[in-house]
Structure 1
Amino acid sequence: MDNPAGFWEGWRAASCVPGCFCEAVRAESWVRQPANTLSSLAFVLVGLWALRQPSSPSPFRPYRPYFVLAALLIGLGSAFYHASLSFAGQFWDVLGMYLLAVLMLLYRLRPGRLFGVVYGLSVAGLALALWFWPDLRRWLFAATLLGAIGLELRHLGRHRPRLRPGLFLGGLALYALAFALWALDATGTLCNPQSWLQGHALWHVLGALAAATLLRYYTSERAPAQ
């Protein structure tokens, strides 16, 4: 602990090394990208907020613990990732994103009593791919997320009276803006390495707000009339 510069040296490096986003790497610190690390905790705040929300009669109520777990893991995994720029940090960061995307996908597919089993097997399969073929991580996440969005838009078109479409579309808009900032940061188009204002950090904060909006959308849904 007396040598912060060498604290992460024995760890397997993340796939992005040596060019991990715009923020300059603080090689002399235990936290290699402080702005990106600190902003990751926005997801932890969303997870804690979700945990304290009162129960609602929404059909989503039994699935809220899955959302809480995903939000907390995204936040803690992302903070670990940017603090260490290690492969282990990358793994837990992306795994949290998989947890949320798979939840969105399966919630509308509704496997019923088998939800927990199907969810666990789906995440396990993605985790194995993430470990052995990490270069596929973004493609697999994008495919899962786009599938979930497509299913949700179809459900929204069929059951609009029971839903609040503005919340879902607002969440999509936030996520689209977050992704645009991620891309500008990743390509160096919008980049000041020494600044605390990082495009990737804004991606974290806006992504967390999008997740919170998604939870509000799900919990506002009214059950079908009997």
Structure 2
Amino acid sequence: MLTKIISRSAAYTMVMLLIYYLLNATMSGTVWADMVISKSALTVEYCEFNDVRRFFHQSMNTYSNLVYFFFGVFVCQLARYDQKNGTLQAPNRMQAFPGLSWLLGACFIYLSFGSAFFHASLTWVGQRVDMNGTYGLSLTLLCMALYHVFYKIDFSANAKRWAIAIVSLSILLFYEIALLVSSSILLPVLILTTWLLIIINYIQFRRERSVLFAISSLVFIVVALKIRTLDVQKIGCDPHSLYQGHSVWHLLAGLSSFCTYAFFRFTPPPKTTF
């Protein structure tokens, strides 16, 4: 089952890669000319060269967002599988609530397009959509962790629908909240709170949780933050290189988020004793 899901996700991602390539090859940067430039572009926040002649002002930082698209398609297929195979007798709490997986998959895809829009255009509205996608992903993972820590609360089918609606509305509200609270404060609070809940849930269900996924999630995000910082500080920076630190940030941040999801979604097989 997982092999088919991975293959389909890769195939859809390759199609999107082709579409991106054709857009970048056939359109020019004049498409964005009348839009307000982002503060990031004015301060040259990232290492990659801002080629205003190209449709993708920052090509590598735009293409690399397809990693979020891959994970989004992957998670949506898992959600479809869980929904199709029933939720009443689901092996774990995550599989019993496929709506959460659908929402997370949608957030991955939303972030993929939002961040690509930002790095392609380097516009103010693009930056806001990019950050809203980031908050959407982080907020959904936080709610997922809360759902598992408070496992004694039994959600009816109707309650699950309301929960998805409320989280979706909260994501939209963060579009405005982001203007009131700095991302350097709000985003770490969301991530650290999620991590605290992961630790609590691991203590609650040690035999049903993979410590490998938990540790991988932490390692990926710590390394990602370090690489992103080096990119912003222009350390080891080559604006015209195929290697861009911010592109690696996209990859590692995506992997970290997926590992957090996998921590809840996949139950490790029981240990065999002899």
**Which TM bucket (shorter chain)?**
0.7 to 0.9
- Structure 1 vs Structure 2 CA RMSD: 2.2
Q: Does 1:60 align with 2:94?
A: yes
Q: CA shift at 1:136, angstroms?
A: 1.4
1:45 and 2:70 equivalent? Answer: yes
1:6 alignment partner in structure 2: 30
2:58 to 33, 49, 73: 33
TM-score (norm 1): 0.88
C-alpha distance in 2, partners of 1:108/1:48? 21
CA shift at 1:13, angstroms?
1.7
Distance in 2 (alpha carbons) for counterparts of 1:49 and 1:108: 20
Q: Contact 1:190–1:199 at 8 Å: present in 2 too? A: no
Q: Verify: 1:95 aligned to 2:132, yes or no.
A: yes
Q: Which runs of 5+ in 1 are unaligned?
A: none
**Residue by residue, what CA displacement relative to the aligned partner does 1:88-136 show, whole Å, maximum 9, x if unpaired?**
2112211111112111222233385252244134323321122x44x71
Query: Among residues 246, 251, 272, which one is paired with 1:205 in the alignment?
Result: 251
User: Which of residues 194, 203, 224 in structure 2 aligns to 1:148?
Assistant: 194
1:181 and 1:200 in contact (8 A); partners too: yes
Q: Post-superposition, which runs of at least 4 consecutive aligned residues in structure 1 deviate over 3 A? A: none
Aligned residues: 220
Choose between structure 1 and 2 for higher RCO, CA contacts under 8 A separated by at least 6 residues: 1
Q: Which piece of structure 1 moves more, 30-39 or 13-22?
A: 13-22
Which of 184, 203, 213 pairs up with 1:167?
A: 213
Conserved? CA contact 1:25–1:32, under 8 Å: yes
Q: Which amino acid aligns with 1:58?
A: N
Matches within 5 A, 1:13-28: 13-18=37-42, 19-28=44-53
Amino acid aligned to 1:16: S
User: What is the distance in 2 between the residues matched to 1:140 and 1:187?
Assistant: 22
Q: Is the 8 A contact 1:106 1:115 kept in 2?
A: no
TM-score by length of 2: 0.73
Match of 1:116 among 164, 167, 177: 164
Alignment check: 8 A CA contact 2:216 2:259 kept: yes
Q: Is it true that 1:127 corresponds to 2:185 in the alignment?
A: no
What corresponds to 1:105 in structure 2? Answer: 142
Conservation of the 8 A alpha-carbon contact between 2:47 and 2:239? yes
Deviation larger for 177-186 or 121-130: 121-130
Say which SS state the counterpart of residue 65 (structure 2) adopts: helix
